Structure 1
Amino acid sequence: MSDTSTAAPQLPIEGELCTVAIGNFRTEAGADIAETAIAFQRWGVFKGDPHGQNNVLLLEHALTGDANAANWWDAVIGPGKALDTDVWCVVCTNALGSCYGSTGPASTHPDGNAWGSRFPAISIRDQVNAEAALLETIGITRVHAVLGGSMGGARTLEWTLLHPERVGFALVLAVSARASAWQIGIQSAQISSITRDPDWHGGDYHGTGRSPDAGLAAARRIAHLTYRGELEIDERFGTSAQSGENPLGPFRADDQRFAVQSYLEHQGKKLTERFDASCYVVLTEALNRHDVGRDRGGLNKALHSITVPTMVVGVDTDILYPYHQQEHLSRNLGNLLAMSKLSSPVGHDAFLVEARQMDRILRQFITLTEHYAAEQADSPRNDC
């Protein structure tokens, strides 16, 4: 959108899911997605210049998250909370490729059927560019800050590289600068669990009356072990048997389980009730392709080129994105605002469940951005 007027952006009713058409979208790899739409929600009143200084905080959700950030981050979003909606306008989109309002493989193709296997592979960069197109369509070309964890952290990092002129500050939580071989391996195993399910049908199971639920549940069981800390899982379950079952009998049986098996099966079943398997595959593949150094002269050169003041947060017990990966970010970012450690036995998911620590970290981030912005405004200009 070339119009740079200061008209108020087109925002939905607070908390209401809104889906916006952004037209045909071309992916980084050269595929086309016709009639693309991105869904989003907002909380708080917009204030300021949609093309300059304003109060927009753009939140990025994790892999199976959605635009309803006030639900999955309820402890920190709202009046008087760390992301104070009396002060800030909090906006959260649903990622391209997901199944919560934005266009993805489970969405309806222009021909009336599901996209299915016709939906192309996408990258984190594609998700960010689609999100940028959404913001431009509703009349916002700059935000005060972008914040996100896990896949949302990867999107946040890419925002600082793809559209630095549109971002005032960034908060990157629990992610790395690129997918490691271990991450690609564990994520590829999850994809394989789904695509080897007999009900996968090459990704074209929509409309068949069946879906690869067994594969998706298995993928979630694998993933969940990387989301939670080893110490927490062992402390909760140890080698205990599931109530009424005996996993130590003379023959192994599927219905005679350790307690941790029952827990993981429950997590898998919950996901099949709310998420689409093909979307899980597309989003997981996007994480496999995450590499901020690709076509930018390598990892450290790309990180050093980041001019957006960025705060980095890691979890000390994170198995999926170990803390040393956030330390690598902090050492190489071109404009490090701050570094913080979240200490928790929970592991990767700590940024979603450790409410007290996240409250402190987010308040620190907001304060730092305000002080930094004030210092920049007060700095004398050299007009010579």
Structure 2
Amino acid sequence: MDDGAAQAIASGGGTMKFPANKPLRLESGGSLPGLEVAYKTYGVLNAQKSNAILVCHALTGDQHAASPHPVTGKPGWWDRVIGPGLPLDPQRYFIICSNVIGGCMGSTGPGSLNPKTGEPYGLAFPVITIGDMVRAQAMLVEALGIETLFAVVGGSMGGMQVLQWAADYPEKLFSAICIAAAARHSAQNIAFHEVGRQAIMADPDWRSGEYEKHRVRPEKGLAVARMAAHITYLSEQALQRKFGRELQRDGLSWGFDADFQVESYLRHQGASFVDRFDANSYLYITRALDYFDLGAKHGGVLTEAFARARAVRFCILSFSSDWLYPTPESRDIVRALNAAGCRASFAEIESDKGHDAFFLDEPELDRILRGFLGANAQARGLA
């Protein structure tokens, strides 16, 4: 480990900058020179470097998993899971969370400066994949001097990264936890993403992706994209329980104001999202999700993707009301793992909270995470 990496660990993260002679090779055939990966750490790496857990974030997440967000000031997106006495306990584990490439919180993305022009990449940024995100994470983990991760954990897009890790770097994993994800993106999900992208690109302030040059932002289009996506993160039961047909005020407006509480909620979600997220990053990351198909390189046979992962211990979790990545898609992953001879446990957690349940108070999720990690910590000699 170099001095810069050691100092970053002591300070709880930073931005790992890789020299131009260590570019990130991309699946599209191109590369990203001068790669930067922004990350946060929680806890202390033990002397054996055997207690590291990589947490992979979802589409609109970032590296601030258990610390206040520097833009919004809100708590970390998984601070109910990461913390002293919680399933991912930094008093026991060294926890790493990095902003994916293509993101907008410090890792190289479309808002970064293009070394060829000195201006933001915009649409000159190359199209990226989940595999590219994982290769960047692997470069970070190696730079931190960690040969084998005790676990890689993630939900939604983070779960896809977990599966990609297992397929591409099984020798660097002891265990893997995939939550509310799938081995490939469905036609329905691609369709929802296309609606969001078109909303952004239809905003006059998008300016063909060069809005930063014109000092404007396509806030309306990005807000609509967020509103459409947010519907998929909930369930019909959750929407009915939280809002039903309750009005925002006494009586109807007989117009197009937010008459219903659910309308006001979605508008708030859209408006608050534009304060912390970049429109072009949204385009690139949703495209990476659409391209995700773990079995595609193996003749469509998912089992073959896990052929080298027999030593990895897997935990696959789904939620009963998740219609974005429904339970049958998790079962497909488990069947493929079993067919490949991998050790895999599976649980469908009963919840009416929809896809976003893994962000919310779900005691059963906490119990499973704590039990799986605890049992494997003993096997790993961390207890």
Cα distance in structure 2, aligned partners of 1:292 and 1:260: 36
Report how far residue 371 of structure 1 moved: 4.8
Matched, 1:236 2:242: yes
Cα distance in structure 2, aligned partners of 1:209 and 1:16: 33
* 3-state SS, counterpart of residue 143 of structure 1: coil
Which residue of 2 is the match for residue 302 of structure 1?
304
Which residue of 1 is the match for residue 33 of structure 2?
34
For 1:176-215, list aligned pairs within 5 A: 176-215=182-221
* 3-state SS, counterpart of residue 201 of structure 1: helix
User: TM-score scaled by structure 2?
Assistant: 0.89
Report how far residue 144 of structure 1 moved: 0.7
Which residue of 2 is the match for residue 115 of structure 1?
121
Which AA in structure 1 matches 2:100? Answer: A
* 3-state SS, counterpart of residue 174 of structure 2: strand
Report how far residue 310 of structure 1 moved: 1.1
The CA RMSD measured in Å over matched residues stands at 2.0
* 3-state SS, counterpart of residue 199 of structure 2: helix
1:211-258 Cα shifts (integer Å, max 9, x gaps)? 1111111111111011011101012212222225615x3xxx322532
Report how far residue 97 of structure 1 moved: 0.6
Which residue of 2 is the match for residue 60 of structure 1?
56
Cα distance in structure 2, aligned partners of 1:18 and 1:244: 50
* 3-state SS, counterpart of residue 99 of structure 1: coil
Which AA in structure 2 matches 1:227? Answer: Y
Report how far residue 64 of structure 1 moved: 0.9
User: Are the structure 2 counterparts of residues 155 and 238 from structure 1 closer, same or farther at C-alpha, using a change threshold of 3 Å?
Assistant: same
Report how far residue 132 of structure 1 moved: 0.6
Q: Is the 8 A contact 1:11 1:42 kept in 2?
A: no
Q: Is the 8 A contact 2:159 2:181 kept in 1?
A: yes
Q: Percent identity?
A: 37
Which residue of 2 is the match for residue 359 of structure 1?
366
Matched, 1:368 2:375: yes
* 3-state SS, counterpart of residue 120 of structure 1: coil
Matched, 1:347 2:349: no
Q: Is the 8 A contact 1:22 1:137 kept in 2?
A: no
Report how far residue 177 of structure 1 moved: 0.6
Q: Is the 8 A contact 2:149 2:172 kept in 1?
A: yes
Matched, 1:12 2:18: no
Report how far residue 346 of structure 1 moved: 1.0
Q: Is the 8 A contact 2:37 2:107 kept in 1?
A: yes
User: Are the structure 2 counterparts of residues 218 and 245 from structure 1 closer, same or farther at C-alpha, using a change threshold of 3 Å?
Assistant: farther
* 3-state SS, counterpart of residue 40 of structure 1: strand
Aligned length: 363
Report how far residue 137 of structure 1 moved: 2.0
Moved more, 300-309 or 95-104: 300-309
Cα distance in structure 2, aligned partners of 1:19 and 1:55: 21
Cα distance in structure 2, aligned partners of 1:184 and 1:338: 29
User: TM-score scaled by structure 1?
Assistant: 0.89
Report how far residue 167 of structure 1 moved: 0.9
5+ residue gaps, structure 2, are 67-75
